[in-house]
Structure formats: C-alpha cells, structure tokens
C-alpha cells in the first residue's frame, strides 16, 4: 500500500479585511498571535494564531492586485480562504496531484511560503471548491 502524501493539517487560512482587528480578537481569547509578516511573492501580510493542535493563518492583502483583495471583494467581511496540509516531498505531491488531474496554480513550481518552506496551491475547482495548499515539512 502507498504511504499517504498528506501528513498533518498545518493551518486553516482566513482572509480578513483588518489584520490588526482580527489578531486582537484571537488575542482576547487567550491565543498566541505572531507578529505580522509581509509575503510580497504571495501578495499578503500574515499572522499565525498558534493553537496546541494546529494554526490559523490570518491573511490581509498587501495591495489591490493581491488574490486576497479579490477574495475580499467577493467576501467583504472575510472568510475561510484555504486549508494547508503538510507533505514530506512537495515535488512528489505535486506530481501525484497532476497525475490525478489536479491543476497546480501559478507556474506549477513551488514557492517559499510563510514558514520558509516550499508550498504549492491546488486549483479549488479540482478540490470541491476549496483552495488547498501543500507545504513541505
């Protein structure tokens, strides 16, 4: 039997119109929240809410050209943007997705994500309308 490619849920990402306000809401609940980090290659500023069993990534667009800005145009109050799963080998995971008819967004090559590790995104049209991020551990 083949070993599963997905190992763990890394985080749930939520697009927000006001990153500081959203982070404050989680801090008020006693959660640890990281400092904001700009990710120009992805067009976002992020913080992570760290929980004992996973993380929540809060995303705010860097500018109007960001995919998150487009998401917030359709969902002005914000909402769940994607799920991120950990994989041991990003290239093997990408090849497996492609073999199964899934489109990889962008140029198809991994980019460095918020945790400094390679990531890819699978087209939500191929995953029941849910954007899926894979991050190499």
Instruction: Name the residue with tokens 């809060």.
Output: 58
Our answer to whether residue 35 is catalytic in this structure is no
Cα–Cα distance measured from residue 102 to residue 130, given in angstroms and rounded to the nearest whole number = 12
Active-site hit among 3, 35, 57, 133? 133
Cα–Cα distance measured from residue 80 to residue 56, given in angstroms and rounded to the nearest whole number = 10
Cα–Cα distance measured from residue 5 to residue 122, given in angstroms and rounded to the nearest whole number = 14
Positive or negative, the Cα torsion across 22, 26, 28, 32? negative
Cα–Cα distance measured from residue 12 to residue 84, given in angstroms and rounded to the nearest whole number = 6
Query: What is the torsion angle, in degrees rounded to the nearest 10, for the CA atoms of residue 16, residue 130, residue 47 and residue 95?
Result: -150
Catalytic residues: 133
């Amino acid at each position: 039997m083949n070993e599963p490619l997905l190992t763990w849920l890394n985080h749930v990402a939520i697009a927000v119109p006001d990153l500081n306000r959203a982070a404050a809401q989680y801090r008020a609940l006693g959660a640890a929240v990281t400092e904001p980090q700009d990710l120009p290659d992805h067009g976002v500023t992020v913080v992570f809410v760290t929980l004992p069993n996973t993380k929540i990534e809060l995303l705010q667009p860097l500018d109007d050209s960001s995919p998150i800005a487009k998401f917030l145009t359709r969902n002005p109050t914000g909402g769940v943007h994607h799920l991120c799963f950990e994989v041991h080998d990003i290239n093997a995971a990408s090849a497996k997705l492609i073999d199964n008819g899934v489109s990889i967004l962008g140029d198809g090559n991994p980019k460095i994500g918020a945790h400094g590790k390679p990531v890819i995104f699978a087209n939500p049209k191929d995953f029941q309308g849910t954007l899926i991020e894979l991050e190499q551990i």
